[in-house]
Structure 1
């Protein structure tokens, strides 16, 4: 299935409208707010674009820190859940002083 436009394209279309049409038409404080909104959309689009790579990198880094082997789950929600659990466990180790000597 080809879902076009995708979420990145939708964000870019709204960002361009804000930057190219709304900001010049509004001017002043509202123009500034529209420019801020356009910049927020650009940030969100970049986060979406790189999310899979970032999740994979964080998952692998934490797995190595805990000396775990294997591949990350294919489901992004499951990857996020494991990352959260490992970050919580790492925080506990740090608070307990178990991470003071390094990896």
Structure 2
């Protein structure tokens, strides 16, 4: 939690709204509203996970980029296009980046 904010945290607020939609709203709606409620539940879950995991994932990603000698994803893409890296150099970095994204977007797919 970042000062000056008190509890509940942003993550706790998002979780409360997601749980409300999932337990109180979703069972009571049908059709288009049910579909959009499911989408909202999934989006809020992603936001929760990004709030929780984002800072450590960002630090790990920056470290991986630094070890490759690039400043950001755009520079990495350019270096890949230029053929500056061997495949084995990139495989671990790109796999870790994709797994981090999946841990936020759809955790079961990360494994």
Q: How does the TM-score come out when normalised to structure 2? A: 0.66
The corresponding residue for 1:96 is: 82
CA contact (8 A) 1:62 1:86 kept: yes
Number of positions where the alignment pairs a residue of Structure 1 with one of Structure 2: 86
CA contact (8 A) 1:94 1:100 kept: no
- 1:3-31 Cα distance to aligned partner (Å, 9 max, x none): 11111011011101111111122223212
Match of 1:51 among 39, 54, 59: 54
| Residue 4 of structure 1 pairs with residue 11 of structure 2 | no
Larger radius of gyration: 1
Report the Cα distance in structure 2 between the residues aligned to 1:102 and 1:33, rounded to whole angstroms.
Answer: 42
Match of 2:41 among 38, 42, 50: 38
Shift of 1:32: 2.3
CA contact (8 A) 1:23 1:34 kept: yes
Report the Cα distance in structure 2 between the residues aligned to 1:36 and 1:102, rounded to whole angstroms.
Answer: 38
